[in-house]
Chain A
């Protein structure tokens, strides 16, 4: 644990935390425009978080400690996960930070406890959500692992920091196969953040909902923590894709100028990606639950193809 890393932790995590809610609103705005509405303000997510922080927490008498610790744990896990994905500069990495398998399983912690939370209050909605979440996440897991394995194959390391150090030095994607992986990574973002066609974040209709069903019983500052964690998750998954496909601006050494440039570049690139996600969501219909495995297979196919191309190239 050195000074450079501490600085990185402060800057990187702080930056991601600060901008994450913005992208949530941005996607909503894009979706609203495509539907011919004006949509909420770009700062609406920040207002919502502030409002929730000031509200009292309501617990069901059926619920247990799981409901009470999960918001803290989820946000904690996601904050640790931000250390794995550098968006401003790449620090001297201490051992154990940046490993992509640890990263995947940090997301699994969040899933595990969110799903338990869904069962905790004894609500039918919560159970439905956690059952669906765990089932779908199990089916998507091979895709995620194969995509990350493909990344590791192409870039010859299992550490995000080292990977991005390789990609940051180049102006075009390091290898054409990385473009293929990007398609899988895009699908993973859609799945992991619960967006159409997998889940619909905008409704509270039991036929469609997964994520919203599990956090139905959460309220007040606990809900704020969970929402923030969700936004951070979306940002870091977007950051993985951006750093693989379009790593321009990511600094390998920290100066004030490079920091500002990296922040600005990331903001622009991530806004474009968020816009793309919004357009994607608007242009496709929610899929039937049991047709989703087929959708995942598409992402699986692209990643497996990458690995095979690397082998035979």
Chain B
């Protein structure tokens, strides 16, 4: 049964990858997306069974080298992430059927369709990989297929830069993973993922390597810069997959390692918690300043990844301090937040894709009034905004509630230093959550409400039905998984004592209904609704220039957090006289410092290019020189093995 489901899903995805190349037609693309839709249904059933029964199936698949069997294996952790893939893919594939047709040129459409399937397949295989070799192989396929999707508009300068940035960062991530897995392999002598019963001092190097590697891929500050470049460049359906699923695959990998360590150390937990808090708060603060809708959503992903890492850090700390129940609460909270973020972020990216397609721009300053022109998209976007702003009874609230509850119950924790750390990170978490609400008031309000600011927004038309349907799937799941959260978790065996959102939702709905019934008939009966112009201090003829803009909306926060958005003011002046007393002309330039890019990435890049320019001197293109190099290398190796091995 389980085998049939998995092989069915894999075969569907492989044929989905091959079809658009074999039959280059619109129908082939449609069939290809239907196949990915079908595979996600199969995966949904598979994940459901494994999660519910707790079976741990292993499927031997094929052999790379003698001794290196590539197996597929699943347990409840991987089934949870298979479920995450399976809930995001249906919406994306329904949406893409129509969306992919907007791409320029037949070849690009085919390529995008095929690569989407390959990308999904690779992510699935990473999660199901039974050993490190398979993990790394599919990790690379996942990275490369997404890279090609980021580069889909390969002729534009912006895409090229984004592609290069993404390629470097993802290679760096793989390099760190390689180092981490190699050092694990040296320790255990096996490529299997198994329990690591080693003292923590031996595992420090693997931990640091894997934390960095997975952190880069997940977009943890300070390795986050690729996200705001890659997401706007990629098609929206791919942004939804990358942000919704691929970042979570990195989380999965990290959890797979962390949960197998028998004796972790406290400083690991502290490090993870601090990095998570930093990502969370910086992600949302940078997002507030942004007015490119997709880049803004990318920054918001950094924030949510930060929250997930905070949960993981809390899990380690509570576990080591002996609070099993709180540790479980934090871990399930982190995983549930990963699941929820997959849902609402893919929803938001898909809706953003519709808006960008309808208006032809990504700048939210150019939008406005879209709720009248795209009412369905607006409602779906509102569902996503409410979830991501963590308002009850949606799913985004439940996972944040779990983390808050873990914090609030930690009164028995006695270590004073840890307590101070928890107070600080708790306030950072609260700040993040409130800033996220402010952010999504801004995004929704500026994009959809009031009057259109440009003619692009004025002429926008509602998205077509398949696209709306694709957005409706994650929206419905957001509400469903919020309302039934505690029931589902109890069904899966996690009785965490979180409040029941279903009863809260019913009471809330009932209260609003009662109020409506009570005041329905009050007021004058003859003219219940009059329409009059917005009040403008007596001036008539309101227009869109009187509205608040995106930059205006976030200005108070920019002022409050001006230490974080660093600006550099450079002035040049020329004077009419030599004593510099009569001012002739001058310029002032205010420049927003991209802190991480200018102070961390660029110096590193300069250092690398400096070293490589030295190394390139050794390249002269003559065969005999290279033979000499090989000879020296062999000689060195022989000497080395003679004396040291």
Determine whether the beta carbon of B408 is less than 8 Å from that of A149. yes
Tell me which residues across on chain A come within 8 A of B390, comparing CB atoms: 105, 108
Any B CB within 8 A of the CB of A80: yes
Given A122-B544, A307-B419, verify A137-B434 contact (CB < 8 Å): yes
Least distance between B465 CB and chain A CB atoms (Å)? 21
A146 in contact (CB, < 8 A):
yes
Q: Would A145 and B547 count as touching, CB distance under 8 A? A: no
Assess whether B528 is in contact with A73, with CB atoms less than 8 Å apart.
Answer: no
Q: Quote the shortest CB–CB distance from B384 to chain A (angstroms).
A: 13
Partner of B560, one of A58, A77, A293: A293
Which one, B411, B524, B552, contacts A131 given CB within 8 A? B552
B415 nearest in chain A by CB position = A311
A284 interface residue (CB < 8 Å to B): no
Asked whether any CB of chain B lies closer than 8 Å to the CB of A72, the reply is: yes
Judge if B299 is at the interface, Cβ distance under 8 Å.
no
Contacts of A278 on B, CB cut-off 8 Å? Answer: none
- With most chain A CB atoms within 10 A of its CB, the pick from B407, B408, B536 is B408
Q: Quick one: which of A125-182 are within 8 Å of B by CB?
A: 125-128, 130-132, 134-142, 144-146, 148-149, 152-153, 156, 158
Given known A60-B534, A142-B427, A145-B427, contact A220–B441 (CB-CB < 8 A): no
The answer to whether B560 and A56 have CB atoms under 8 Å apart is no
**Is B559 part of the binding interface, using a Cβ–Cβ cutoff of 8 Å?**
yes
Q: How far is the CA of A80 from the CA of B392 in the complex (A)?
A: 12
Task: Write out the residue numbers on chain B whose beta carbons fall within 8 Å of the beta carbon of A158.
Answer: 405, 408-409
| Contact status of A138 and B438, CB under 8 A, knowing A61-B531, A102-B401, A116-B449 | yes
* A188-239 contacts to B (CB < 8 Å): 216-217, 220-221, 224-225
Pair A101/B508 contact, Cβ less than 8 Å: no
Is A64's CB under 8 angstroms from B427's CB?
no
- Tell whether B404 is near chain A: CB-to-CB under 8 Å: yes
**A65 touches which one: B371, B408, B427 (CB < 8 A)?**
B371
Q: Report B442-454 CB contacts with A as 1/0, cut-off 8 Å.
A: 1011101111000
Q: Which residues of B contact A96 (CB under 8 A)?
A: 486, 499-501, 503-504
Contact B515 A116 (CB under 8 A): no
Contact A60 B411 (CB under 8 A): no
Given contacts A80-B511, A145-B404, contact A58 B409 (CB under 8 A): no
Q: Which one of B372, B529, B553 has the highest number of Cβ atoms from chain A below 10 Å of its Cβ? A: B553
On whether the beta carbons of A56 and B449 are closer than 8 Å, the reply is: no
Contact A120:B450 (CB < 8 A) given known A131-B554, A216-B535: yes
Q: Is the CB of A106 within 8 A of B438?
A: no
A72 pairs with B516, CB closer than 8 A: yes
Q: Is A137's CB under 8 angstroms from B438's CB?
A: yes
Contact A101 B533 (CB under 8 A): no
Q: Is B428 an interface residue (CB 8 A)?
A: yes
Nearest-neighbor residue (CB-CB) of B544 within chain A: A122
Task: Give, as a whole number of angstroms, the nearest-CB distance from A224 to chain B.
Answer: 8
Q: Is A76 in the interface zone, CB < 8 Å from B?
A: yes
Whether A153 lies near B411 (C-beta < 8 A) is yes
B406-432 CB contacts (< 8 Å) to partner A: 407-409, 411, 414, 416, 419-420, 423, 426-431
Asked if A24 lies at the interface with its beta carbon under 8 angstroms from chain B, I say no
Evaluate whether A59 and B530 lie within 8 angstroms (CB atoms) in the complex, with A95-B499, A134-B441, A142-B427 already known.
yes
Cβ-based interface call for B310 (8 A) = no
Given the known interface contacts A108-B391, A112-B437, A139-B560, the answer about A311 and B419 at a Cβ–Cβ threshold of 8 Å is yes
Contact partner of A123 (CB less than 8 A), chosen from B369, B372, B536, is: B536
Task: Please name all residues of chain A whose beta carbon is closer than 8 Å to the beta carbon of B449 when the two chains form the complex.
Answer: 64, 66, 116, 119-120, 122
Tell me, yes or no, whether A109 is within 8 Å of chain B by CB: yes
Residues of A within 8 A of B450 (CB): 62, 119-122
**Is B63 an interface residue, CB under 8 A from the partner?**
no
Q: Which residues of A contact B397 (CB under 8 A)?
A: 105
Binary interface profile of B, 497-541, with partner A (CB < 8 Å = 1, else 0)?
001110110011101100110010011100111111111100000
Contact of B427 among A63, A75, A100, A146 (CB under 8 A): A146
Which has the most chain A C-beta neighbours within 10 Å: B431, B451, B515, B528? B515
Contact digits for A228-256, partner B, Cβ 8 Å, 1 yes 0 no: 00000000000000000000000000000
- Known A122-B450, A307-B419; judge A141-B401 contact (CB<8 A): no
Q: Is the CB of A79 within 8 A of B515?
A: yes
| Contact across chains for A124 and B548 when beta carbons are under 8 A apart | yes
Q: How far is the CA of A158 from the CA of B448 in the complex (A)?
A: 37
A138 to B405, CA, bound (A): 20
Query: Shortest CB–CB separation between residue B386 and chain A, in angstroms?
Result: 7
The complex places the Cα of A307 from the Cα of B408 at a distance, in Å, of 11
Would you call B435 an interface residue if the criterion is a C-beta within 8 Å of the partner chain's C-beta atoms? yes
Minimum CB distance partner of A145 in chain B: B430
Chain B, Cβ-Cβ closest to A52: B523
Is the CB of B389 closer than 8 A to any CB of chain A? yes
Chain A residue at minimal CB-CB distance from B509: A76
Contact yes or no, A152 B409, CB < 8 A:
yes
Chain A residues with CB below 8 A from B555, complex form: 131
Given contacts A119-B446, A134-B441, contact A225 B529 (CB under 8 A): no
Return chain B residues, CB-CB under 8 Å to A118. 445
Determine whether the beta carbon of A95 is less than 8 Å from that of B532.
no
| B404–A101 touching, CB < 8 Å | yes
Q: B546 in the interface, Cβ–Cβ < 8 Å?
A: yes
Cβ–Cβ < 8 Å partners of A119 in chain B: 441, 445-446, 449-450, 547-548
Tell me, yes or no, whether A2 is within 8 Å of chain B by CB: no
Task: Indicate with 1 or 0, residue by residue over A283-306, a CB within 8 angstroms of chain B CB atoms.
Answer: 000000110010000001000100
**With A and B bound together, what is the CA distance between A60 and B380 in angstroms?**
24
Known: A119-B445, A142-B428. A127 touches B548 (CB 8 A): yes
**In-complex Cβ contact of B512 among A63, A73, A122, A289 (8 A):** A73
In the complex, the answer to whether B431 meets A109 with C-beta atoms within 8 Å is no
B226 vs chain A, min Cβ distance (A) = 27
Q: Given A62-B534, A122-B534, does the pair A307, B503 have CB atoms closer than 8 Å?
A: no
The chain A residue sitting closest to B435, CB to CB, is A138
Residues of B within 8 A of A311 (CB): 414, 416, 419
Residue numbers in A under 8 Å from B431 (CB-CB): 138-139, 141-142
What residue in chain A is nearest B508 (Cβ atoms)? Answer: A80
Q: Give the distance to chain B from A218, nearest Cβ to Cβ, in Å.
A: 11
Contact B535 A217 (CB under 8 A): yes
CA separation between A95 and B487, bound complex, in Å?
12
Question: Residue of B at shortest CB range from A115?
Answer: B441
**Residue B633 at the A interface, CB < 8 A?**
no
A282, CB-defined interface residue at 8 Å: no
Instruction: Tell me how far the C-beta of B420 lies from the nearest C-beta in chain A, rounded to whole angstroms.
Output: 7
Residue contact B523 to A308, C-beta cutoff 8 Å = no
Chain A residues closer than 8 Å to B557, beta-carbon distance: 135, 138
Tell me the bound Cα distance from A216 to B537 in angstroms.
11
B427 cross-chain contacts in A, Cβ below 8 A: 142, 145-146, 300
Bound CA–CA A125/B535 (angstroms): 9
User: Is A123 within 8 A of B426, CB to CB?
Assistant: no
Chain A residues whose C-beta falls within 8 Å of the C-beta of B389 in the assembled complex: 108, 112
Contact A58:B531 (CB < 8 A) given known A122-B542, A123-B546: yes
Query: Would you call A38 an interface residue if the criterion is a C-beta within 8 Å of the partner chain's C-beta atoms?
Result: no
Most-contacted residue by chain B among A80, A106, A156, A310 (CB, 10 A): A80
Contacts of A111 in B (CB 8 A): 437
A258 contacts the other chain (Cβ, under 8 Å)? no
Given A60-B534, A217-B535: A130 and B441 interface contact (C-beta under 8 Å): yes
A290 contact set on B, CB distance < 8 A:
556, 559-560
Residue of B nearest to A121 (CB): B534
The CA-CA distance from A221 to B524 in the complex, in Å, is 10
Contact among A76, A122, A128 for B515, CB-based, below 8 A: A76
Residues 66-78 of A, flagged 1 when their CB comes within 8 A of B and 0 if not, give 1000001101110
Cβ-neighbour of A115 out of B409, B445, B544 (below 8 A) = B445
Closest 6 pairs between A and B when the two form their complex, measured CB to CB: A127-B548, A122-B450, A96-B499, A141-B434, A119-B445, A76-B512
8 CB < 8 A contacts A-B: A66-B371, A75-B512, A75-B515, A77-B508, A105-B391, A122-B369, A127-B547, A138-B435
Further pairs besides A57-B528, A95-B500: 7, Cβ < 8 Å: A77-B508, A105-B401, A112-B389, A124-B546, A134-B553, A158-B408, A221-B519
